[in-house]
Chain A
């Protein structure tokens, strides 16, 4: 067997520093963001809250994990967001036999009978890749999670003895919470890398549910997505916009104190007089709520304030993003992990009820 040949074309771009960005008009970008939100809302109805959070994640350049029941529209939502965002989009399905190499390259025998290696989904589009969508992430093995961890944390990957950077990449992943067999729970480090974990429920409004079931518009997801306007915002400038938002929006002393108090109360609920029925509060939280998580909380709150048309953060912003940003970063004692879905919202509610603001 002859030596493996690396593909010479198309050439893959290593990380290239971009030109100095022009001054960013945040008011204009806010209009763009709202237009982006409205575009996605055409395809996904009854998910206003999840959509708002996704927009915030996009404008914070944060990776998002979607969790929910089967068939509630997680994939459709992510595909709609990817379309409205424009830019190259790749997806991969998590399976139990998926290996990291399957993401990096594909090996096959070409027509001439010789082995060929071609870039896999993550490398195929080069450094422009805007959205990488990992479907059913909890079906993939820890090896794959480890590779994903690197892609998410550093937005780069090593392959073919070279580093590839994806400066504009956002990783969207989803997992369904119904099945536990043949799945691999995401390691703590990988979960912490996700900016938000957004829970998706079927819309509560019976009218919307009926519409989802009976309107032919929602029967064919491909046609639904294809009907959306493409590339509503310029994904290449989002990094600069995100940085400008963080510079522009003020989180004052009061918000700082409030955030810190929330953090403390979440980490040590028993010290703040929080009690939940049937839970030993002093043994509930065993880890998590990392400084990275809290910094993500503040970033998300700043973006929320900006999207709301303010240049300062208020407690409502923190409350809006607290559960999606913090809940999945908190690790509970094994005895309570199985009841996570009941305990976490109750705990977060109790934390907000325990900490006064302003103070």
Chain B
């Protein structure tokens, strides 16, 4: 039997010797509540709180590296948190997470070694020792009993993780993606958002803009060209005067405007190819072309 481990008080107040300074450190070790009943594989948290004057911070070099400390003891991690303490001081909370792999044949006291930490402030250095801590570890089962299959414990029930928040987040993201896709489809005129090509409506708008900017010869020529390009797009190929009859035959919605369309092509022919473009310009106007474009645009939408 090992002697009983020294009981650490839950709140042991220690005053450690400050080197060449009057800086005092208050240290509290919050070891696990019990120092017995530990088995192989148990994770042992050892917490220390150190109350220090403002400005001290832990020297990271003094923190131990996680890893095997001994053949039976692992340090799995160290976390340091500092927060506001009383009297304008800072409270540093350090938590060492140990794991024992000691396989005792009888209850036995083991000691986690002491650990010295350093705090620094403006060249000042303060050492604080977390004292050794002993605990009693015991075998898991009767040593002398022979192994039996019945001794096998059933598998631990798998812990059910609550994934509801993730499900909500996924659903929300999918919804947002869908909305974005719909907006994109509308912007790019995909699928159900496809707008019918309305070349004459576009031409009417372009001529309206030209009309607003002024009704010079340039604007008039541009208006003619806009209507020509609209005819090209509406017919699917480059439409010239000779093709008008064929165009009207396959696009009956424009037939009521056939006289006007023929007039437009005649005027365009004299303007662009004829011998007297000035007369052709004088005979037509941007406003008249705008009117024709408007009527064509209405016919394009299948309205009278």
Rounded to whole Å, the gap between the CB of B269 and the closest CB of chain A is 6
The answer to whether residues A358 and B268 also contact, given A252-B273, A311-B275, A312-B273 and a CB cut-off of 8 A, is yes
Rounded to whole Å, the gap between the CB of A213 and the closest CB of chain B is 31
Closest B residue to A254 using CB positions: B272
Q: Which of B11-19, B34-42, B236-244 contacts A (4 or more CB under 8 A)?
A: B236-244
For residue A179, CB closer than 8 A to chain B, the reply is no
* Chain B binding surface SS class: helix
B238 touches A357 (CB 8 A): yes
A315 touches B240 (CB 8 A): yes
Rounded to whole Å, the gap between the CB of A328 and the closest CB of chain B is 23
A316 partner residues in chain B, CB cutoff 8 A: 240-242
Chain B interface residue number, banded: 10 to 19
Residue total for A at the interface (Cβ-Cβ under 8 A): 18
Task: Please indicate which of the listed interface residues B238, B241, B272 has the most CB atoms of chain A within 10 Å of its own CB.
Answer: B272
A353 partner residues in chain B, CB cutoff 8 A: 237-238
Closest A residue to B242 using CB positions: A316
A358 partner residues in chain B, CB cutoff 8 A: 224-225, 228, 268, 271-273
Closest B residue to A250 using CB positions: B275
Binary per-residue interface labels of chain B (221-233) against chain A in the complex, 1 for a CB within 8 Å, 0 otherwise: 0001100110010
B240 touches A356 (CB 8 A): no
Closest B residue to A314 using CB positions: B273
The answer to whether residues A312 and B240 also contact, given A356-B229, A358-B224, A358-B268 and a CB cut-off of 8 A, is no
Rounded to whole Å, the gap between the CB of B104 and the closest CB of chain A is 84
For residue B274, CB closer than 8 A to chain A, the reply is yes
B238 partner residues in chain A, CB cutoff 8 A: 315, 352-353, 355-357
With the chains together, A313 CA to B275 CA distance in Å? 10
B225 touches A312 (CB 8 A): no
Closest A residue to B228 using CB positions: A358
Which B236-288 residues have C-beta < 8 A from chain A? Answer: 237-238, 240-242, 268-269, 271-275
B273 partner residues in chain A, CB cutoff 8 A: 252, 254-255, 312-315, 358
B228 touches A312 (CB 8 A): no
For residue A319, CB closer than 8 A to chain B, the reply is yes
B268 partner residues in chain A, CB cutoff 8 A: 358
With the chains together, A308 CA to B128 CA distance in Å? 112
The answer to whether residues A314 and B275 also contact, given A358-B224, A359-B225 and a CB cut-off of 8 A, is no
Rounded to whole Å, the gap between the CB of B217 and the closest CB of chain A is 14
Rounded to whole Å, the gap between the CB of B271 and the closest CB of chain A is 8
A357 partner residues in chain B, CB cutoff 8 A: 228, 238, 240
Rounded to whole Å, the gap between the CB of A219 and the closest CB of chain B is 37
Closest B residue to A358 using CB positions: B272
| Residues of B bordering A, CB below 8 Å | 224-225, 228-229, 232, 237-238, 240-242, 268-269, 271-275
| 14 cross-chain CB contacts under 8 A | A250-B275, A254-B272, A311-B275, A313-B273, A314-B241, A314-B269, A315-B273, A316-B241, A316-B242, A319-B242, A353-B238, A356-B229, A358-B225, A358-B272
| Residues of A bordering B, CB below 8 Å | 250, 252, 254-255, 311-316, 319, 352-353, 355-359
The 8 closest A-B pairs by CB, nearest first: A358-B272, A316-B242, A254-B272, A353-B237, A314-B273, A315-B240, A312-B273, A316-B240
